[in-house]
Structure 1
Amino acid sequence: MNKDLLTIQADRPDIITSEIEAIHFYRKMDTKATVEEMIAGKYVLVEEYYSNGLEVLSELKKKLLRKYKDKSFQGQRDYRSAFREASHRLLLKVKDNKLLVKKAPTIGWLELLYTDVSEFYVSFPDVQGMNSSWQWYQKGIEVKTLDIKLHPFYGTYFPTRFDHLKLFDKWLKKYEGSKQQVIEIGVGSGVLSFQLIQNGFENIFATDTNKNAIIGVAQESKRLGYEENIRLNHGDLFENCDIKADLIVFNPPWLLAKHKLEEGIDKAIYFEEELFPRFFEEALKHLNPEGKIVLIFSNLAQVVDEESTHPIIEELRNNNRFRKELHLRRDVRASSKRTKRTDSRENEKVELWVLAPKK
Structure 2
Amino acid sequence: MNQDLLTLQPDKPPIITSEIEVIRFYHDTDAKAAVQEMIVGTYVLVEEFYSNGLEILAELKRTLLVYYTDKKFQGQRDFRSAFREASHRLLVEVKGHKLVVKKAPVIGWLKVLYPEIADFYVSFPEVQGMNSAWQWYQKGIEVKTLGITLHPFYGTYFPTRFEHLTLFDRWLKKYIGSKEKAIEIGVGSGILSFQLIQNGFKTIFASDTNKNAIIGVAQECKRLDYEANITLNHGDLFENCDVKADVIVFNPPWLLAKHSLEEGLDKAIYYEKELFPQFFEQAQKHLTCHGKIVLLFSNLAQVIDAKSPHPIIEELRTNGRFKKELHLRRDVNASSKKTKRTDSRENEKVELWVLTPKEMV
Shorter-chain TM range is: over 0.9
Cα displacement (A) at 1:76? 3.2
Q: In 2, are the aligned partners of 1:256 and 1:271 still within 8 Å (CA)?
A: yes
Q: Between 33-42 and 11-20, report the one with greater CA deviation.
A: 33-42
Task: Report what 2:137 is aligned to.
Answer: 137
Cα displacement (A) at 1:68? 3.1
2-structure distance, mates of 1:305, 1:36? 37
Q: In 2, are the aligned partners of 1:250 and 1:295 still within 8 Å (CA)?
A: yes
Deviations 1:13-52 (A, max 9, x none): 0111122121110002111221122122211110111110
Q: Structure 1: which 5+ runs fail to align?
A: none
Cα displacement (A) at 1:358? 1.1
Q: In 2, are the aligned partners of 1:154 and 1:212 still within 8 Å (CA)?
A: yes
Task: Report what 1:331 is aligned to.
Answer: 331
2-structure distance, mates of 1:133, 1:72? 30
Cα displacement (A) at 1:82? 2.0
1-structure distance, mates of 2:75, 2:26? 33
Where 1:236 maps in the other structure, the secondary structure is coil
1-structure distance, mates of 2:334, 2:71? 20
2-structure distance, mates of 1:21, 1:311? 49
2-structure distance, mates of 1:269, 1:64? 26
TM-score w.r.t. the length of structure 1 is 0.97
Aligned counterparts, 1:240-255, within 5 A? 240-255=240-255
Query: Aligned-residue CA RMSD in angstroms?
Result: 1.2
Deviations 1:193-248 (A, max 9, x none): 11111111111100001010001001101111111111111110000101100000
2-structure distance, mates of 1:12, 1:280? 32
Task: Report what 2:128 is aligned to.
Answer: 128
**Are residues 1:277 and 2:248 paired?**
no
1-structure distance, mates of 2:351, 2:69? 33
Q: Structure 2: which 5+ runs fail to align?
A: none
Indicate how the Cα distance of structure 1 residues 341 and 39 shifts in structure 2: closer, same or farther if over 3 A, else same.
Answer: farther
Task: Report what 1:49 is aligned to.
Answer: 49
Cα displacement (A) at 1:96? 1.3
Q: In 2, are the aligned partners of 1:208 and 1:236 still within 8 Å (CA)?
A: yes
Task: Report what 1:108 is aligned to.
Answer: 108
In structure 2, what residue type is equivalent to 1:54?
Answer: L
2-structure distance, mates of 1:132, 1:19? 28
Q: In 2, are the aligned partners of 1:320 and 1:358 still within 8 Å (CA)?
A: yes
2-structure distance, mates of 1:107, 1:355? 44
Q: In 2, are the aligned partners of 1:73 and 1:304 still within 8 Å (CA)?
A: no
1-structure distance, mates of 2:127, 2:58? 16
1-structure distance, mates of 2:55, 2:153? 29
Deviations 1:63-90 (A, max 9, x none): 2334334444444333322221111111
Task: Report what 1:355 is aligned to.
Answer: 355
Task: Report what 2:238 is aligned to.
Answer: 238
Cα displacement (A) at 1:339? 4.0
1-structure distance, mates of 2:337, 2:130? 26
Cα displacement (A) at 1:174? 0.9
Task: Report what 1:310 is aligned to.
Answer: 310
Task: Report what 2:176 is aligned to.
Answer: 176
The percent of aligned pairs where both chains have the same amino acid is 77
Deviations 1:312-333 (A, max 9, x none): 1111111110001111111111
Indicate how the Cα distance of structure 1 residues 153 and 338 shifts in structure 2: closer, same or farther if over 3 A, else same.
Answer: farther
Task: Report what 2:267 is aligned to.
Answer: 267
Aligned counterparts, 1:190-269, within 5 A? 190-269=190-269
Deviations 1:78-137 (A, max 9, x none): 332222111111100111101111111110000010012122110101000000000010
2-structure distance, mates of 1:300, 1:82? 27
Where 2:353 maps in the other structure, the secondary structure is strand
1-structure distance, mates of 2:338, 2:21? 44
1-structure distance, mates of 2:103, 2:160? 29
Q: In 2, are the aligned partners of 1:183 and 1:247 still within 8 Å (CA)?
A: yes
1-structure distance, mates of 2:158, 2:106? 22
Cα displacement (A) at 1:346? 1.0
**Are residues 1:185 and 2:185 paired?**
yes
- Aligned positions, number: 359
Cα displacement (A) at 1:336? 3.1
1-structure distance, mates of 2:137, 2:92? 22
TM-score w.r.t. the length of structure 2 is 0.97
Task: Report what 1:290 is aligned to.
Answer: 290
Indicate how the Cα distance of structure 1 residues 35 and 214 shifts in structure 2: closer, same or farther if over 3 A, else same.
Answer: same
In structure 2, what residue type is equivalent to 1:79?
Answer: F
2-structure distance, mates of 1:328, 1:59? 47
Q: In 2, are the aligned partners of 1:254 and 1:298 still within 8 Å (CA)?
A: yes
Task: Report what 2:40 is aligned to.
Answer: 40
Q: In 1, are the aligned partners of 2:107 and 2:134 still within 8 Å (CA)?
A: yes
2-structure distance, mates of 1:70, 1:17? 38
Where 2:297 maps in the other structure, the secondary structure is strand
Q: In 2, are the aligned partners of 1:35 and 1:59 still within 8 Å (CA)?
A: yes
